[in-house]
Every structure is written in structure tokens, then in C-alpha cells.
């Protein structure tokens, strides 16, 4: 049974999942936006499945390493009619739904990308076994590996562009822009190629490189870059505010002088 869902909004999105009676969905704690009464909410350690305590503990740790919560919220429709639960994206960007079965059973995402999905989806570690890619690829050594057979909702800031790569087809990607990739896609970093470009080109020394076959999702605005832009903004409130402040001070002094005069 595939999950029924609807993604709403343009840049500040949420996904509304319709749960059939008895069906469950999992979401990151704090991601829930609303849900119908009749949907039970349960917080569980790890991936929200019924595994033993030890493996739940282990999966909890894996989750925390990959930028997710130690716990998972499980939403279950306990009524006899379809009910809704919605998960909101934590930052401006896009939510995409990926059917894991069509991806060969697994998907690799950047840290913290997982928003929610079918109950039973496993969240694991994808450790990038290449020093240069881990250090300069912009995604770090640790990424998320989502595996299982259901639907997952992943989120990334900016616009998410799915790009389809044929076998052997290669794409150069700005570091940090890689949001998700299929397991069959090869990921590496390459030196920009010339000193001039690397110094003046604004892309840094390295570019990520992805090679097909498979699909990659690229984000137009990585969160770090958004943050840098926001922090770099001028802090002052402009001339108007200063002028207003000045007028108030003059007024107060004038009043004080008038009082003293009388």
C-alpha cells in the first residue's frame, strides 16, 4: 500500500499525509504541524519500529549522528476512517517524497534531511569512504542512508532539483548543494582545475562530482549559505531611525530648557 500524501506551499512547505485506518507514519519530533483527533502520537527511541531495546538504542545513536533526533514520533490512525497528519519543513525549502522501492531500496541524503515517512523505514549511516570527499565535498563524512520499502519525505533548503544521470554521465556540483542521491550514483570531489578559478571563481578549491546511473537531488541554497547571507546583512536600521532618535533627544532637551526658563 502506498502512502497517500499532498505537499502544500511553494517555498515554506508542509506535507499532509492521509493515514488509512490502522496505518502509521513516522516523523521527526517537532516536525508535526497538525493532526486529526483519532491519530495517536507515540514517541519511540530509534526508528519507531518494534525492534529490541538494544537495536532501538543503536538506531537512536545512528539517528543522532546523522543530524536527526534520538527519538521518532509515530503517528497511528486509531479510528476507522482516513485521518490526516501534517509535517512541516523546518526551513525555507522543498519537501520531496521518494518511493524507496523504486530507488532500489535505499537512498542517501545529506545530514538532517529526513522529515518523515512510512513506519518501518530505517535510518542509517552512509559513511563516505573517501578522505577528500569527506573533507571537501561539503556534506562531511557522514550522510543519511534511508532504507526500506516505503515512502520517505526529505527536506532541503532552497529549491530541490532532481537530475537524472545516465550510466557514466557526470555532473559537477557546487559543494554543499548535494541534497540526496541514489546509491548507484558515485560521489567524489574534484579540484576546480585552475588556480585562477579556484581563487577568483567563488566556487572554492573543489567541486563535488556525481556520476550516474541514477538520480541526484540538488538544492539551490544550502542552509550554510543562507546563514552566511543572513549574518552578513547590515545590522543598523538606517538613517530614518537615527534621525527619529535625534529629534526625540532635541525635543527632550528643549522641554528641559523651557522648564528651566520659566
Partner 1 sequence: MSEIAAQLHGPELPASGVPARVHFHGEYLRVAGDGAAEDVPAESLAVDITGFNEDMLQLSWDRHGHTHAVTVADTAAVRALLAQAPESVARRLKRGHSKMGYHRRKWNAVIGVLAGLVLLVGVAWWQSEAITMWLANRVSMQTEIGIGEQALAQLETEHVLTREGLAAETIAGIGARLTQGSRYQYRWYVSDDREVNAYALPGGIVVINAGMIEKAGSAEELAGVLAHEVQHVEHRHTLQQMIHTAGWAAVLAVALGDVSAITAIVIHQLGNLRNSRKLETQADVEGLKAMAKAGIPLQGMATLFRTLQAEQERRGGEGAALLSSHPATEERIADLEQLAATLHCECQPLGIDWAAVQVATREWRAAQ
Tell whether residue 123 is a contact of partner 1 (CB under 8 A).
Answer: no
Tell whether residue 181 is a contact of partner 1 (CB under 8 A).
Answer: yes
**Nearer CB in complex with partner 1: 81/166:** 166
Tell whether residue 161 is a contact of partner 1 (CB under 8 A).
Answer: no
Question: Which residues, numbered 37-66, are part of the site for partner 1 (CB under 8 A)?
Answer: none
Buried b (16+ CB within 10 A) or exposed e, 32-48: beebbebbeeeebbbbb
Q: Among 69, 79, 186, 220, which residue interacts with partner 1 (rule: CB under 8 A)?
A: 186
Tell whether residue 199 is a contact of partner 1 (CB under 8 A).
Answer: no
CB of 110 to partner 1, least distance (A): 12
Tell whether residue 150 is a contact of partner 1 (CB under 8 A).
Answer: no
Q: Among 3, 15, 103, 115, which residue interacts with partner 1 (rule: CB under 8 A)?
A: 103
Tell whether residue 217 is a contact of partner 1 (CB under 8 A).
Answer: no
Determine if residue 93 is left, alpha or beta; phi over 0 gives left, psi from -120 to 50 gives alpha, anything else beta.
left
Tell whether residue 96 is a contact of partner 1 (CB under 8 A).
Answer: no
The one segment of 52-60, 65-73, 185-193, 235-243 that binds partner 1 by CB under 8 A = 185-193
Give yes or no for a contact between 53 and 121, defined as CB atoms under 8 angstroms apart. no
C-alpha cell at 1: 500500500
Q: Is 93 strand, coil or helix?
A: strand
Give yes or no for a contact between 149 and 86, defined as CB atoms under 8 angstroms apart. no
E strands, 20-121, in order: 24-27, 32-35, 39-45, 71-77, 83-88, 93-99, 106-109, 114-118
The one segment of 74-82, 117-125, 160-168, 244-252 that binds partner 1 by CB under 8 A = 160-168
Q: Is 245 strand, coil or helix?
A: helix
Q: Among 3, 88, 108, 152, which residue interacts with partner 1 (rule: CB under 8 A)?
A: 108
Amino acid at each position: 500500500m502506498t502512502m497517500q500524501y499532498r505537499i502544500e506551499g511553494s517555498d515554506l512547505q508542509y506535507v499532509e499525509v492521509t493515514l488509512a485506518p490502522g496505518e502509521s507514519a513516522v516523523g521527526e519530533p517537532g516536525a508535526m504541524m497538525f493532526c486529526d483527533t483519532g491519530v495517536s502520537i507515540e514517541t519511540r527511541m530509534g526508528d519507531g519500529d518494534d525492534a529490541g531495546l538494544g537495536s532501538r538504542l543503536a538506531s537512536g545513536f545512528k539517528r543522532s549522528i546523522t543530524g536527526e533526533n534520538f527519538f521518532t514520533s509515530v503517528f497511528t490512525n486509531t479510528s476507522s476512517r482516513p485521518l490526516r497528519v501534517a509535517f512541516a519543513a523546518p526551513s525555507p525549502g522543498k519537501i520531496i517524497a521518494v518511493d524507496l522501492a523504486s530507488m532500489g531500496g535505499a537512498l542517501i541524503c545529506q545530514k538532517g534531511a529526513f522529515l518523515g515517512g512510512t513506519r518501518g523505514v530505517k535510518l542509517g549511516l552512509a559513511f563516505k569512504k573517501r578522505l577528500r570527499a569527506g573533507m571537501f565535498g561539503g556534506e562531511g563524512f557522514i550522510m543519511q542512508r534511508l532504507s526500506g520499502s516505503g515512502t520517505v519525505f526529505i527536506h532541503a533548503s532552497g529549491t530541490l532539483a532532481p537530475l537524472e544521470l545516465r550510466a557514466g554521465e557526470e555532473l559537477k556540483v557546487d559543494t554543499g548543494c548535494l541534497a540526496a542521491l541514489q546509491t548507484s550514483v558515485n560521489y567524489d570531489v574534484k579540484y576546480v582545475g585552475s588556480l585562477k578559478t579556484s581563487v577568483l571563481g567563488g566556487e572554492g578549491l573543489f567541486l563535488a562530482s556525481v556520476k550516474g546511473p541514477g538520480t541526484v537531488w540538488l538544492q539551490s541554497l544550502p542552509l550554510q549559505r543562507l546563514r552566511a547571507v543572513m549574518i552578513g546583512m547590515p545590522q543598523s536600521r538606517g538613517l530614518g531611525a537615527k534621525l527619529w532618535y535625534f529629534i526625540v533627544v532635541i525635543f527632550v532637551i528643549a522641554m528641559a530648557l523651557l522648564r528651566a526658563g520659566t
